Amino acid sequence: MLITIIAFILILSVLVFAHEFGHFWTAKKFGAKAEEFGFGFPPRIFGWKKKNGKRKFFWGGQDEESEDTIYSINWIPIGGFVKIKGEDGESKNDPESFASKKPWKRGIILSAGVTMNVLLCIVCLIIAFMLGAPQIVESDDQMVKDPKIQIMSVLDESPAKEAGLTMGDVLISIDGQQFAQVEEVQLFIGQKDQQEVTVVVERLGEQSEYQITAEIINETGNAGLGVGLVKTGIVSYPWYKAIWLGFKGTWNMFTQIIVAFATIIKNAFTGQEIGADIAGPVGIAVITGRVARMGISYILQFTALLSMNLAIINFLPLPALDGGRVLFLIIEKIRGRAVNQKVEQIVHTIGFFALMLLIVVVTGKDLWRFRESFANLWHGIVSIF
């Protein structure tokens, strides 16, 4: 459980820190004063600033007022934050204030966090492809490590669907037999019409056993379980190919997430089943722990996926998010004057509380869905102390 805690904190810290660094760097470039840039969240352990060309260190909340940026290390070791002068609309006449900058400059500063998350996604995928990333094995002449048979798809109303198998499950064995090729699995199951077989699969580092009765599948005309199988493995690439695959993978990830979000929103408004599992902090922590046990390539790809999700969600035109703030800038540009600051703050406050309520609801569902894993995680935390 210690691995789960450490992996979750590290991954979340990297995601948030990269996001906040984007805001910090662009604010400095455009002359908006960054009053504090912190690693972790307050309360502060210690901080430092430059004074007369030298670093001055101080403890706790001392030396709050500073003509230069305060860099701080804080007690809650998750991510980081940047405090920009005038970010809430105050000090409009101060040239160092965020509020005094032109709308396009403010838009870039607000968008920089999302941009950094996209760049982080690209970097993680490039490194993953260089080290070796899980992929479909298309030919036997590829340099492949850790080959495995994985479920690519599950037919509706099939024996596999009813048993609970899902896309991404790794096939470990059937009736105690292991297989090296997809064709071997198909041949074995093809002889088991109306017979019950014991299927062992691995899902996010944990193995599960299922009793499934094979039957004739209409799509193939042969006995089967109703799954599409592929052979996968860890495939590595030279750096020049890894760069291209990193950009390509980022684009594919972006389009797939956009389509998924669009489907969720459409189904929500039309009263259809959402058809997707939405995880909150608890769910992400549990999944992170499982991914951490699968190896560095999986951790990098999972970090890339989370970073892209964070980028897209944060840029949605909703109050309290960066996208919502950019929306107000667009309205300001169209109207020729800014929206009343009090009105904007009220809208963002309402949006913030709505977001917190959503997180509470999703967390409650996560606690129930991952109750066994969360109980083990909690026992692990308690055992540390």
pLDDT in tens, 23-73: 999 999 999 988 888 888 888 888 888 766 677 777 776 655 556 888 888
User: How many angstroms separate the CA atoms of 211 and 197, rounded?
Assistant: 6
pLDDT band at 375; cut points 50, 70, 90? low
Return the SS3 of 31: coil
Neighbours of 29 (CB within 10 A): 12
Residue count (the chain):
385
pLDDT band at 260; cut points 50, 70, 90? confident
User: How many angstroms separate the CA atoms of 155 and 262, rounded?
Assistant: 23
Q: What average pLDDT score do residues 132-157 get?
A: 77
User: How many angstroms separate the CA atoms of 227 and 276, rounded?
Assistant: 19
User: How many angstroms separate the CA atoms of 346 and 319, rounded?
Assistant: 9
Domains plus CATH for the chain?
Answer: 136-235 (2.30.42.10)
Summarised one tens digit per residue, pLDDT across range 147-165 is: 888 988 888 888 888 888 8
> Residues 230, 171: contact at Cβ < 8 Å?
no
Summarised one tens digit per residue, pLDDT across range 12-26 is: 888 989 999 999 999
To 5 degrees, how large is the angle CA 107–CA 111–CA 114?
Answer: 175
> Residues 232, 135: contact at Cβ < 8 Å?
yes
User: How many angstroms separate the CA atoms of 162 and 255, rounded?
Assistant: 30
pLDDT band at 243; cut points 50, 70, 90? very high
